[in-house]
Amino acid sequence: MITTRNIAHNTAYQLAGKILSTFLGVLALGMMTRYLGTEKFGWYVTTISFLQFVGILIDFGLIPVTAQMMSEPKYDKTKLFQNLLGFRFVTAIIFLGIAPFIALFFPYPPEVKIAIALSTISFLAVAMNQIFIGFYQTKMKMHIQAIGENIGRLVMVMGLWLLFHQQASFLPIMCVVILNSVAYTIFMWCMATKYDKPKLAFDWQIWKKIIIKMWPIAISIICNVVYLKGDTLLLSIFRSQTEVGLYGAAYRVIDILSQMAMMIMGIMLPLLAYHWSRNLKKEFKKYYQQSFDIIMLLALPMTLGIIMTAPQIMEIVGGKEFISSGRPLQILAVAVLGVYLGAIFGHTAVSINRQKQTIWIYLSSALFTLIGYLIFIPKFGMYGAAWLAVFSELYVSLMLFLTVRYYTQEKLALKTFSKIIFSTLIMTVVLFFTKNYHLFIQIVFAVLIYTTMILLTKAISRETIKEIISLKKHV
């Protein structure tokens, strides 16, 4: 039986790994911004954003689909796993192979177009990782994913350090970024051999079942790409590469921090799907409430903390040349709250098989946001892009919440949430009165005060703490 202790320990492994990978990611980001400067960092952002646009288009929701299908009792797990790998490989090769040719028609510098062609290798590796992440989620072995991610980040940091000392140009630097993803995927593949037989399989009958399961999510994700990456892509067309670099640096910070929400809900999704598919409503409600409480425990202090310290964050991350990224980062911080809420309700919708009922949410968001991008990005640049990102994330999260509530008839208890709000406000006051201190001192004070308030208000119950730290096995 899976208990709070199992979930907490699995989350703890991932959290420790995520803290390290976040540090390495920020370190790599800081190295690149300082070495490349705003314009050439804009090249990097344009390259990655263009391929992320394609990558999200072919995402097909295969992480939650893998986790959901492998949690259901009706499939042969090995056969399903191998066919998911085969399906992912074929679809990624087809669509990523087209991307460099499409890029030729965009008004990008030649170096960017070459970088896009080279980086398709990196995105093929990322695409394959979707299946492995879903696989490890169902095995409750997400520490493997955390280790793999850190191996990739270490490869990138060490590679960047060596190239910077050699005064390397832009394209060799992009090759190191590619090695990051390749090293990550090789580790994930090798470790999977301990639990199954990871190889490519091509059974059309199973592929049809995958397509039937994924198509509502795929349509939703294709709409997601408009408001998730459409801003940077349109910014790269209407504005200078320097402005793309400034906005991209701020967005990269948000990207790194937002991964925590997907990590947590990746752990919770198999549990939600397992109990819902077996009509265990009481247990489903328990894990749904836990998902909300855990996510809010992180999202609220993160959002207000970034708003209070954004200029200092960007100065440390990117150097003085990127201080002006602080303002868009403050705006995008509000979007973080939407991302975290959307992660809860989006994953829950998948767990209860209501993907089809959420399509209209993503379609309407894509339409509203695209119209907004075309109106406000040419006029207001990165600030217009940032505010529309906030709108899209909050709109989607609200609509997903209403959908999940309608189909589950489950109401979230807000007692813990109110304590988190109070603790976050106290933390924010501390940040205000320490605004003249160094950022690291502010962070230490904020973490100490917030943690203390969470414990004093009993936002986390004593029973939960005992269960988490207990050495006794739960059966």
Instruction: State pLDDT tens for residues 216-253.
Output: 666 766 666 666 677 887 888 888 888 888 888 888 88
What is the span of the domain harbouring residue 464?
Answer: 414-475
Are residues 296 and 439 both part of a single domain? Answer: no
Are residues 82 and 199 both part of a single domain? Answer: yes
Are residues 54 and 109 both part of a single domain? Answer: yes
pLDDT confidence of 160, banded at 50, 70, 90? very high
pLDDT confidence of 8, banded at 50, 70, 90? low
Taking the C-alpha atoms of residue 257 and residue 315, their distance in angstroms, rounded to an integer, is: 17
pTM to 2 decimal places: 0.70
Q: Tell me, what DSSP letter sits at residue 473? A: P
Are residues 430 and 382 both part of a single domain? Answer: no
Compute the CA torsion angle 217, 221, 223, 224 (nearest 10 deg): 140
Are residues 384 and 436 both part of a single domain? Answer: no
Domain boundary among 395, 413, 431: 413
Domain boundary among 374, 393, 413: 413
pLDDT confidence of 471, banded at 50, 70, 90? very low
Are residues 447 and 326 both part of a single domain? Answer: no
Are residues 426 and 369 both part of a single domain? Answer: no
Are residues 29 and 164 both part of a single domain? Answer: yes
pLDDT digits (tens, 9 = 90+) for 88-120: 888 888 888 888 998 888 888 899 999 999 998
Are residues 89 and 206 both part of a single domain? Answer: yes
What secondary structure does DSSP assign to 166-232, as a single string?
TT--HHHHHHHHHHHHHHHHHHHHHHHTTTS-------HHHHHHHHHHHHHHHHHHHHHHHHHHHHH
Say which amino acid occupies 120: T
Are residues 37 and 155 both part of a single domain? Answer: yes
Q: Is the pLDDT of residue 473 over 50?
A: no
Are residues 242 and 355 both part of a single domain? Answer: yes
Interior CA angle at 346 toward 385 and 334, to 5°?
A: 35
Domain boundary among 373, 388, 413: 413
Are residues 339 and 452 both part of a single domain? Answer: no
Residue of 213, 212, 216 lying closest to 403 (CA atoms): 216
pLDDT digits (tens, 9 = 90+) for 181-211: 999 999 988 888 888 777 887 878 777 877 7
Overall number of domains in the chain:
2
pLDDT confidence of 14, banded at 50, 70, 90? low
CB 439 within 8 A of CB 313: yes
